[in-house]
Amino acid sequence: MLFNSLGFLIFLPTVFLLYWFVFKKSLLTQNIFILAVSYLFYAWWDWRFLLLLILSTLLDYAFGLLLASTRHKKLYFWLSVVNNLSILGFFKYYNFFADSASELLRQMGFQTNPYFLSIALPVGISFYTFHGMSYVFDIYNGKIKPIKNFIHYAVFVCFFPLLVAGPIERASHLLPQVEKKRIFSYGQAVEGMRLMLWGFFKKVVIADTLAADVNLIFNNYKEYNGSTLLLGAIYFSIQIYCDFSGYTDIALGAAKLFGFELLTNFRFPYFSRNIAEFWRRWHISLSSWFKDYLYIPLGGSKEGKWKAVRNTFIIFLVSGFWHGANWTFIFWGLIHALLFLPLLLSNKNRNYTGHIVAADKKIPGAQELLQMLLTFSLVTIAWIFFRSPNIYDAFDYIGGIGDSFFTVPAYYNQLVYVFIFLWLDWMQRRNERCVLEFKNKYVRRFVYFVFAMLIIFHFNFINRAEFIYFQF
């Protein structure tokens, strides 16, 4: 079920009313109901993949219990890792490895006829697999104790707002909320509605509007001049940010309606002053996951500079591969590793860890503005590889930007959406949770009304655009 669908607009208020008026009597009834509607939400795509989700949940739940009740902790830990990666690898990466191996053998003079799976990628598999793995990792490292109540654990993995595209939750953060009876909070619900309104605006009004032009430009890039190609790359940078952060805002807002607080996933990444700060603000739950469960176990930056360089390249390449079974994603990760490297070698990768750009000013200074523009430009170039079907097309696209550059670009009318969004994002940059808050109630209501009208006007009830990160 898509957030931007008529079905969800019926599903959410129905679940909300039943949750608070019928199933609020006890913690058990609350969690059983949430789990049931989460399974319904997921089965809306394909009920067969619901069985895979339940199997994955059962296995990680069992491994968690085994880790705490046996001497063979390391054995069960690695069995859990192999199990999760096998499920993920089979459904997401089998065709990629089969095709790559076949191409390598062909280059060596061998003819092969590889067998490819003709099966859709289970939606959200990367996210719920990483949920389960983090739970097992934390038990193995002694950070948490295994939970005995399967219903509670299943809600942690399958809670419908975060099920298909995150944020990637931690058991230490979400499980205590699952194990505690929720009481309705009007203030929390209002905050949730604001976040959802802002998320729908970013997705429906900004991302989906830009998506039409992005698709035309990238799919026919050889037909356009350089200025149009540059504009297409900028549009995609805004599109993917509004698409994914819009989903996150809707997820966080929906969770608040049911008494849950999810992890922050975005903190205005396009106002970053270098690549390191960008990655502390973009897809935070995934970046922190790789840092805690891959970078630090490999030694992090405490075992010498060159091991830190090695570990940095590993997490960026793995992060790229996590996004999809295509060399373009791996190359995208490599680009970010190379951009991160000078900061690491010069010990500047920890700059701006807690300081918001122009925190006490309305506009940034000249230096900060140049830093943000440079970072955004580098990120946008990398996004071209992320968006292109293959690496060769990405290089051709970049090469085409220099052709007939000083000409009027096509589709420039959509720039108004870009400027409006960036201005609104800038005004709210001090707190990603406090959006669309205005002291004057009349101004507040007017803004709500305008946003609602824009969403309704741009809402496509027939050809709904999926969220980009659903494919991961």
Active-site amino acid positions: 323
Cβ contacts of residue 76 below 8 Å, gap of 6+? 63, 66, 67, 70
Q: Exposed/middle/buried for 413, CB within 10 Å: 0-12, 13-18, 19+?
A: exposed
* CA 138/CA 131 separation, integer angstroms: 11
Q: Within 13 Å and on the Cβ side, how many CA atoms surround 284?
A: 16
Residues constituting the chain: 472
Residue indicated by tokens 């960036």? 422
Q: Within the chain, how many helices (H) and strands (E) appear?
A: 19, 0
Q: What angle do CA 462, 465, 470 make, to 5 degrees?
A: 135
Phi, psi dihedrals of residue 267, rounded to the nearest 5°: -135, 70
Phi, psi dihedrals of residue 354, rounded to the nearest 5°: -130, 10
* Sign of torsion over alpha carbons 391, 394, 396, 402: negative
The answer to whether 329 and 96 are in contact (CB under 8 A) is no
- According to DSSP, residue 435 is labeled -
Residue among 127, 157, 168 nearest 292 (CA): 168
* CA 248/CA 2 separation, integer angstroms: 13
Compute the 3-state secondary structure of the chain and give helix, strand, coil in percent, each to the nearest 5: 70, 0, 30
* CA 23/CA 225 separation, integer angstroms: 59
* Sign of torsion over alpha carbons 446, 265, 61, 178: negative
Rg (CA), the chain: 23
* CA 174/CA 249 separation, integer angstroms: 17
Q: Give the E-state strand segments of 12-110 in sequence order.
A: none
The answer to whether 381 and 233 are in contact (CB under 8 A) is yes
Residue indicated by tokens 């053998």? 105
Q: Both tokens of residue 384?
A: 């071209």
